[in-house]
Amino acid sequence: MADAEQIKRVAYETGKTTNTIRRWAKQGCDLNNPASINVFLQGNKLRQNPNTIRKPKKDNPPPAGVPAIEPEPEPDLNTIELGPIGKRGAAAALARLEEIEERASARLMRAIEHGNAFQVKAAQEFYLRSSETLRRLDLAVETERRNAEEQVPKKQAEAISLHIAEWLRIAFAQFLSSESRSLMGIKDLGEFKLYAVERFKGILHMAVKTSLQTNSPIPPWAAAQVIEAWNVPTNL
């Protein structure tokens, strides 16, 4: 069983109450092992707000034999020399954040290798914050690109291609069914081509227009491109 002085020391170092440390000890926490303490500390943190970092109370003096923790001076951001401004825009911000997240991950791995429980805690919290921010920004940039029509999901492109190919096949089958006899009576090659193209344009337009009212439609914007490619003067 841990003694009272040891419980006080761990409570001061972790920012927890002595009752909490006493309960940890009863649950199997080795108060002489920083890694064991960190396991209980992380388990408690997951039940709290991940953005909240508990610190030792200023009015709670350290137990005997434990040096007082001197607060670090607040940095003066106005005196920090900043590097040159790089590329602007969401893509550049995403690249910078990716670099921060990568370094945070490396820093966390180094802290785990050294085995300092409190360094591991600090590195882990920073890594989680940076990775979550990266995830949100990455999602926002991807959404914006799709809204700007710079990206189309592969499944959507495959479905549209299938629908266009299917309705082109239907249009050609209708063309052969309705125009074969008339085409066979045309002997002049130039007249044959002109008649065939003009008749197929009309049938293609009707096939694409009909597709918009079925369960496998060609999207209106894609249908408009098909009509434009065949130089059909009518609107959908």
Give the end of a domain, one of 118, 147, 176. 147
Q: Are 165 and 120 members of one domain? A: no
pLDDT at 73 over 80: no
Which one-letter amino acid corresponds to residue 225? Q
In a domain, 131, yes or no: yes
pLDDT at 124 over 80: yes
In a domain, 123, yes or no: yes
Which one-letter amino acid corresponds to residue 201? K
| Percent of the chain scoring above 70 in pLDDT | 72
In a domain, 53, yes or no: no
Cα(159)–Cα(92) distance, rounded to whole angstroms?
Answer: 33
Q: Are 223 and 205 members of one domain? A: yes
In a domain, 26, yes or no: no
Q: Are 222 and 170 members of one domain? A: yes
Give the end of a domain, one of 119, 147, 175. 147
In a domain, 127, yes or no: yes
Residue (of 43, 9, 6, 47) closest to 27 by Cα position: 43
- Low-confidence winner among 46-50, 64-68, 106-110, 178-182 (lowest mean pLDDT): 46-50
| Domain count of the fold of the chain | 2
Q: Are 196 and 171 members of one domain? A: yes
Residue (of 44, 39, 52) closest to 19 by Cα position: 44
In a domain, 104, yes or no: yes
- Low-confidence winner among 96-105, 194-203, 226-235 (lowest mean pLDDT): 226-235
Average pLDDT over residues 116-128: 84
Q: How many residues does the chain have?
A: 236
DSSP for 23-38, written as a single string = HHHHTT--TT-HHHHH
What's the whole-number average pLDDT of the chain? Answer: 75
For 125-180, write each residue's pLDDT tens digit: 888 888 888 777 777 766 665 555 555 677 877 888 888 888 888 888 888 888 88
Count of other CB atoms within 10 angstroms of residue 211: 22
Which one-letter amino acid corresponds to residue 116? N
For 190-229, write each residue's pLDDT tens digit: 888 888 888 888 888 888 888 878 877 887 777 777 777 7
In a domain, 78, yes or no: no
pLDDT of residue 236: 46
Q: Is the dihedral of CA 71, 76, 79, 81 positive or negative?
A: positive
Domain that holds residue 119: 87-147
Cα(23)–Cα(37) distance, rounded to whole angstroms?
Answer: 12
pLDDT of residue 233: 55
Give the end of a domain, one of 97, 131, 147. 147
Q: Are 137 and 161 members of one domain? A: no
Q: Are 141 and 159 members of one domain? A: no
Residue (of 121, 116, 114, 112) closest to 15 by Cα position: 121
Confidence of residue 20 (pLDDT cuts 50, 70, 90): confident
In a domain, 10, yes or no: no
